[in-house]
Chains A and B, each alone.
Chain A
Amino acid sequence: MFKSVYNWIDERLDITPLWRDVADHEVPEHVNPAHHFSAFVYCFGGLTFFITVIQILSGMFLTMYYVPDIINAYASVDYLQHKVAFGQIVRGMHHFGASLVIVMMFLHTLRVFFTGSYKAPREMNWVVGMLIFFIMLGLGFTGYLLPWDNKAYYATKVGVQIAESVPVIGPYLASFLYGGDIVGAQTLTRFFAIHVFFLPGALIAMLAAHFIMIRKQGISGPL
Chain B
Amino acid sequence: MQISSHILDAPKHLGYYKLCPSSSCVFALRQDARYGWQRGLEQKMSNHEQHETAHRPVQRKEMSRRQFLSYTLGGTTAFMMGGAVLPMVRFAVDPLLVKKGEGTYVKVVEESKITDEPQEFKFKIHQIDGWYVSDPELAAWISKDANGKIFALSPVCKHLGCTIGWNTKGQNEYDCPCHDARYTKDGKNLAVAPNPLDEYEVKLENGFVYLGPVMPNTRTS
Contact = CB atoms under 8 A, between A and B. Distances in A.
Interface of A: 2-3, 6-7, 10-11, 14, 16-17, 20, 23-24, 54, 57-58, 61, 64-65, 72, 75-76, 78-80, 83-87, 89-90, 93
B7 A57 contact: no
Given A10-B23, A16-B7, A90-B91, 4 more contacts: A11-B23, A87-B94, A89-B91, A93-B87
Contact of A57 (B21, B88, B97): B88
A78 B91 CA distance: 14
B84 to A, nearest CB: 6
Contacts of B22: 10-11, 14
A3 B92 contact: no
Interface string B118-133: 0000000000001110
Interface of B: 2-4, 7-8, 12, 17, 21-24, 26, 84-85, 87-88, 90-92, 94, 97, 130-132
Nearest to A23: B4
Contacts of A2: 2-3
Contact of A76 (B26, B85, B131): B131
A64 B131 contact: no
B14 to A, nearest CB: 14
Secondary structure dominating the interface of B: helix
A209 B54 CA distance: 52
25 contacts: A3-B2, A7-B23, A7-B24, A10-B22, A16-B7, A16-B23, A16-B26, A20-B17, A24-B12, A54-B84, A57-B84, A57-B88, A61-B92, A75-B132, A76-B130, A76-B131, A78-B131, A79-B130, A80-B91, A85-B90, A85-B94, A85-B97, A86-B94, A89-B87, A93-B88
A11 B21 CA distance: 9
Contact of A65 (B21, B23, B130): B130
Listed from nearest, the 4 A-B pairs whose CB atoms lie closest are A79-B131, A75-B131, A86-B87, A61-B88
B87 A72 contact: no
Contacts of B92: 61, 64
Secondary structure dominating the interface of A: helix
Contact of B90 (A10, A72, A86): A86
Contacts of A72: 131-132
A80 B88 CA distance: 12
Contacts of B12: 24
Nearest to B86: A86
A17 B21 CA distance: 8
A24 B91 contact: no
A80 B94 CA distance: 10
A92 B3 CA distance: 36
Given A85-B91, A87-B91, A20 B131 contact: no
Nearest to A65: B130
